[in-house]
Amino acid sequence: MAELALGVVGLAGTVDACVKLGKYLVQACKDYSQSDAKLNELSLRMEICWLRISSQLEVMTHLERGMSAEQNSIQGRILLVLRSKLDDAVILISKPDKFASSRTAKKLYFLSLRDDLEKTVAELESWQERFKPTWFQLVKDAPLATIDGMHKNISVGNSRHATEPTLEAVKFRRAFEEEDRRPVFIAEKTLQSLYKRVIPYCSAQLAVEPNESKYHIIDTVSADIVNAKDARDLASRLRDSNPLNSGTLKCKGIVRQPKKSSMAFIFRVPDGYTNVRSLRELLLSGQPPESLTIRLEMARQLVNAVYFVHLYEFVHKNLSPETILSLEKEGERNATVCLVGFQVIRHAEAKTNTSKADRKEILYQHSARQGSESVDFIMQHDIYSLGVCLLEIGLWEPLITYGPDGTQQTSNIIGPEQNGSEKYTPSLVQKQLIALSRGKLRVIMGDRYSKVVETCLTCLDEGNTDFGDPKEFQDEDGIEVGARYVKKVMDIISEISF
């Protein structure tokens, strides 16, 4: 019945209903925010979250006319989830209006709702995070003229939190326009002025501006493997990237190094994030995060980062704990996960490029790609690598260790190497990884997480229909395949809680 009603009123009508409920909820929290310090904090969180949600919903209504039937249906189902959460919260919060006879009685009732309100705020924040990837996909598919026109029509009187999503939409959509490209190649002296530090178990470097103490990541790629156009396009699309949204760092520019036949991406580290470590270093430390919730959040952020790389129309080709960075603020336990390691990055439509195989490749590269230059790299190969990384995060055990001389060694967790033809063959490694997912990982992280990992590891296997019809992940150019698949993974992993 709900879906039928949605079909009658359209997305705009459902958005209007959600906005009215949201405004009521925010105002009710404001009215009693001074009753208690905790209520005041919850009221502020509710207001900020709702301002962002309402702004994103406004953008969606501007884009409704250009949506396909499938997009419209998906957005409708997403809105119904939001409407349900708002309905439940409003019913709970409006009881004093019906049964309480005085303001004092209403105040006492509100005080008793602190735990329920905290749950409501957390659910709305979670909904907004889950809605964000789909929202960016809508923005990407929309005509640029529509996005620009929408931005001009947004009221200039809106608060900063309300206008941020619309500005993000404009910057994100314009990044795909060839004619909007600004120069990305910058002078070599920019790189020379930075003080560089090694990031253990990562090819990228941490760099600091001596005078301003601003942190950067230097990611050097071979000009013989990554062509200049792909490098330029990636840098241009990441110029305004928000790592807290996309898991990709904002790119300051690229420095050409002709003598070394290389190019260096210079990425900005968000202010305050002074503790930068590779996931490999964290795994090798033997010190797991304080809770499974932190582990799960790292996994979610990694899935989100891969989704955005594919949404930017690139394949990463080099996913492993060595190319995953954890950024932390001093004294805080929650980390922000970002992707680097763009040594073999290429546009999804470009001809495949190859790189030298090493021990790591056996674990993180799909068997179809190992030892074969005839098999083009496709987005599903990134998803396989994602599954291996999610396995390691869940187990919090490294699949690769390093000897004293820096050589890579396969961890005993994979099982001892076999003699003869069975010595770490790609198919054998895949079977062992799946066995770990079904066994040890399931005990630690639960059925749903282990199933997500297994689905990633078998994403190219016949008969893998866990996330729907395989035809859904096939199109002529393959650009959207990875983004759609990762979105399926994202939906499942976002529903897991401990």
- Has residue 35 got a pLDDT over 80? no
- Distances in Å between the Cα of 38 and the Cα atoms of 118, 126, 127 are 9, 20, 22
pLDDT at 100 (0 to 100): 54
- Rounded-to-integer distance, Cα 322 and Cα 198, Å: 13
Rounded to 10°, the helix 292-311/481-494 angle is: 160
- Has residue 390 got a pLDDT over 50? yes
Listed range (83-92, 166-175, 357-366) with the worst mean pLDDT: 357-366
Of the candidates 255, 296, 287, 318, the residue with the CA atom closest to the CA atom of residue 397: 287
- Rounded to an integer, the average pLDDT of 375-404 is 88
Per-residue model confidence as pLDDT tens digits over 453-489: 998 998 877 766 664 454 555 554 444 555 566 667 8
Q: Percentage of the chain with pLDDT > 70?
A: 81
Cβ-based neighbours of 305, under 8 Å, separated by 6 or more: 246, 247, 248, 337, 338, 339
- Has residue 420 got a pLDDT over 70? no
- Rounded to an integer, the average pLDDT of 1-18 is 65
25 and 86 in contact (C-beta within 8 Å)?
yes
pLDDT at 116 (0 to 100): 85
Q: Regarding predicted confidence, which is higher, 405 or 421? A: 405
Listed range (58-67, 395-404, 466-475) with the worst mean pLDDT: 466-475
- pLDDT band at 102, cuts 50/70/90? low
- pLDDT band at 156, cuts 50/70/90? very low
DSSP β-bridge partners for residue 263: 221, 256
- Rounded to an integer, the average pLDDT of 424-433 is 83
DSSP β-bridge partners for residue 262: 222, 257
Summary mean pLDDT of the chain? 82
- Has residue 358 got a pLDDT over 50? no
- pLDDT band at 377, cuts 50/70/90? low
Residue 110 token pair? 């509100």
- Has residue 155 got a pLDDT over 80? no
- Rounded-to-integer distance, Cα 166 and Cα 150, Å: 8
Delimit the CATH 1.10.510.10 region(s) of the chain: 275-494
> Cβ of 424: how many Cβ atoms within 10 Å?
16
Which CATH architecture group holds 275-494?
Orthogonal Bundle (1.10)
Which residues in 357-390 are b (16+ Cβ under 10 Å) and which e? eeebbbbbbbbbbeeeeeeebbbbbbbbbbbbbb
Determine the residue type at 427: S
Q: Regarding predicted confidence, which is higher, 326 or 482? A: 326
- pLDDT band at 251, cuts 50/70/90? very high
- Has residue 108 got a pLDDT over 60? yes
- Has residue 41 got a pLDDT over 50? yes
- Has residue 325 got a pLDDT over 90? yes
Q: Regarding predicted confidence, which is higher, 363 or 484? A: 363
Q: Regarding predicted confidence, which is higher, 397 or 483? A: 397
- pLDDT band at 85, cuts 50/70/90? very high
Per-residue model confidence as pLDDT tens digits over 289-324: 989 999 999 999 999 999 999 889 898 989 999 999
- pLDDT band at 404, cuts 50/70/90? confident
pLDDT at 439 (0 to 100): 95
Listed range (331-340, 378-387, 451-460, 466-475) with the worst mean pLDDT: 466-475
- Rounded-to-integer distance, Cα 175 and Cα 193, Å: 28
Which pTM does this prediction carry? 0.87
- Rounded-to-integer distance, Cα 208 and Cα 193, Å: 9
